[in-house]
């Protein structure tokens, strides 16, 4: 998460709380209580664009609920778990996910689901943006050719992998310190970080990511998603991975 590493946890917490407050304006769908503003070490990362910025590919309402409800719920649950456990409160998210085994049984699943959800969504907002799309450049483009058979083949394989996830999950591209890439689908909120692999980027194929606009047509969503993929952000993450500074 290159963008956010400069923020102190306290700073990130304030930002996250501010975003949540602003976005909590009443809407038709907002009848249920929003998760309480996070009180704890984890917070919603700031998104650098508005909820409607990815229209028409991802609609504003989906973005709003996805960020302010689903992601916020993962953050709130993770903070709740941190109250009961000093390790969760002090460790970085990347370290927590890389070593779920150190946690007691009653908290391991909570952190796997909600910590995974927090990491996956933080990455997700970061790698999308308005006026994006197109194709990667530089050594990332070369790595896609070398490891994934070229950009067109990669896109087709990535979409097929996303389509094959049965039920909720993600399709990721992992990267190692040497810059090698691989496509890796995972169920629910599992993250390659849990297998000590780095995430270059990924797409959310939980139905909540696309149902309001695409309903059962996940294939259309996967195809459309390329229009909002910000290759400059992913290029920065690729450089960070090789430099050893990419966290989540």
**Token duo for residue 148:** 């994934």
247 cis-preceded (ω within 30 degrees of 0): no
Question: Closer CB to another protein, residue 47 or residue 186?
Answer: 186
Type and span of the H or E element at 154: helix 151-164
Least distance to another protein, CB of residue 193, Å: 18
Question: Closer CB to another protein, residue 8 or residue 216?
Answer: 216
Question: Closer CB to another protein, residue 6 or residue 32?
Answer: 32
Least distance to another protein, CB of residue 158, Å: 20
**Rounded Cα gap, residues 168 and 1, in angstroms:** 23
Site residues (CB under 8 A) for another protein? 29, 31-32, 65, 69-70, 73, 109, 113, 166-169, 187-189, 206-208, 211-212, 215-216
Question: Closer CB to another protein, residue 26 or residue 167?
Answer: 167
**Token duo for residue 237:** 């993450």
**Rounded Cα gap, residues 36 and 21, in angstroms:** 10
- Closest alpha carbon to 181 in 238, 137, 126, 220: 238
Least distance to another protein, CB of residue 31, Å: 7
**Strand ordering across the sheet containing 198-204:** 181-187, 169-175, 198-204
Least distance to another protein, CB of residue 30, Å: 9
Q: What are 182's strand-pairing partners?
A: 174
Contact 218, 163 (CB under 8 A): yes
Question: Closer CB to another protein, residue 8 or residue 31?
Answer: 31
**Token duo for residue 17:** 């709380």
**Rounded Cα gap, residues 40 and 29, in angstroms:** 27
Question: Closer CB to another protein, residue 158 or residue 206?
Answer: 206
Least distance to another protein, CB of residue 92, Å: 23
Q: Helix (H, G, I), strand (E, B), or coil: what is residue 74?
A: helix
Least distance to another protein, CB of residue 200, Å: 23
């Amino acid at each position: 998460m290159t963008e956010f590493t400069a923020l102190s946890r306290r700073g990130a917490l304030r930002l996250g709380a501010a975003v949540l407050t602003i976005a909590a304006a009443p809407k038709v769908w907002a009848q249920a209580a929003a998760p309480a503003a996070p009180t704890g070490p984890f917070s919603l990362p700031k998104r650098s664009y508005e909820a409607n910025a990815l229209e028409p590919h991802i609609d504003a309402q989906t973005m709003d609920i996805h960020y302010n409800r689903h992601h916020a719920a993962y953050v709130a649950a993770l903070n709740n778990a941190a109250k009961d456990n000093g390790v969760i409160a002090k460790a970085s998210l990347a370290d927590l996910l890389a070593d779920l085994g150190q946690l007691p049984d009653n908290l391991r699943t909570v952190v796997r689901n909600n910590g995974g959800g927090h990491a996956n969504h933080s990455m997700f907002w970061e790698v999308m943006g308005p006026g994006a799309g197109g194709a990667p450049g530089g050594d990332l483009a070369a790595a896609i050719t070398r490891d994934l058979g070229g950009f067109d083949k990669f896109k087709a394989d990535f979409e097929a992998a996303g389509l094959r996830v049965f039920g909720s999950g993600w399709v990721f591209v992992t990267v190692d310190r040497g810059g090698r890439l691989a496509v890796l689908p995972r169920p629910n909120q599992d993250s390659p970080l849990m297998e000590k692999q780095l995430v270059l980027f990924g797409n959310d194929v939980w139905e909540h990511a696309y149902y309001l606009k695409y309903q059962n047509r996940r294939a259309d969503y996967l195809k459309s998603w390329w229009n909002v993929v910000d290759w400059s952000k992913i290029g920065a993450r690729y450089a960070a991975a090789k430099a050893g500074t990419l966290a989540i």
